[in-house]
Structure 1
Amino acid sequence: MRSEETKRSIIAAAEKLFQERGYEAVTIREIAKEAGCSHTTIYIYFQDKEALLHALSMEPLQQLKAKLDVLVADAFLSTDDKLLRLNAQFIQFCLHYKSMYSIIFEAKSVLNDEEEAELPFHRLLNQMFNIIVQLLGTQLNLSEGEQLLNCSRIYFYMLRGIVGTYSNSEESVESIMGRLSITFDHAFEALMLGFSIQLQDRRKER
């Protein structure tokens, strides 16, 4: 149907421009020009630019969230194994969707632990962040509180840092993961060891 083709063209144009120039800099009129339609046509399908961002990001993020939910529910895996597999799935996802990485994680950016996120896909990101909180709490024997939140933030920053390092690489996802997955695992094992030592020292000081 022509209407579906128009909608797909608008989404493709928005993805292209958001990636090239950043979400904030692009206007609806520019998206319309890129898609070959009038700006009023866009409003037939999308309420505003945020709705376009939502359309771009929700489906792949929902797929990632579903995979992480299955991972967390696996009773045969240790918490340590779950964390390492979560890392791999998150890194692979972001590198697979390189063209959308900056759109999903940086456009209208909010803290990944904000309770009242503005956009639906940010709320979904927060849910995935809470999976990290849950697993770290179990692994580090920490209850909810500032210490656990800080450890979870640092853990998430490490994930973001790894992805950011390779987000512009022309190397395939398979090649990057095959070459560096052990290095990634060692980096997180070192981080977890650092958390454990720091927490032990603080408990001794009490």
Structure 2
Amino acid sequence: MDVFEAIATRRSVRHFDPAHRMSDDEIDTLMSHILLSPTAFNIQNWRFVAVQDPALRAEIRKAAWDQAQVTEASLLLVMCLDLKSWAKSPERYWRHAPAQVSESMVREIRHFYRDDEMLQRDEGMRSCGMAAQTAMLAARGMGYDSCPMDGFDFKRVGHLINLPPDHRICMMITFGKAQAAAHPRSGQLDLSEVFVRDRFTESER
């Protein structure tokens, strides 16, 4: 499946075959491609929790208003962000670069993120968003469907997965073999309604 087909056929599927589970090799393949997602300054501030314990899945389902996909999906991935990844040995993000480049980038990382907690959070959300799209398209290319989720109690799920204090949850994604097709697209806006060239006109503001 080429990338354009993956984009066109990716849909939010909520009904999965509960008997199917992804193999460890498939999960490794998926994750290895998610790790190719971009992050600013290469700080790789996403963290991924694959929830495989059935009892824990059942508890998370309760925190997600009993959505069946939480337990029926082949894989449940909690997309998290590390707010302080920029400060945790940032030189490791540039360890294969020339020394001069590495030293310069580490200085810039510290200068850019220090004392700006909102930026740290926003950056993590951006990174997780890009990783999430990579994950869903990679899964589609592997023959799996997926569904991004924010319909759950974030604090409760954070407690259940023992989320560190300096981390936040961005979303969850379920992956699996679709048992029922997604509903038809319900109303895509026309390109002219969302695409602006150069600047907004006065009538668009």
Query: TM-score, normalised to structure 1's length?
Result: 0.29
Greater helix proportion: 1
Greater relative contact order: 1 or 2 (C-alpha under 8 angstroms, separation 6 or more)? 2
Greater strand proportion: 2
Query: TM-score, normalised to structure 2's length?
Result: 0.29
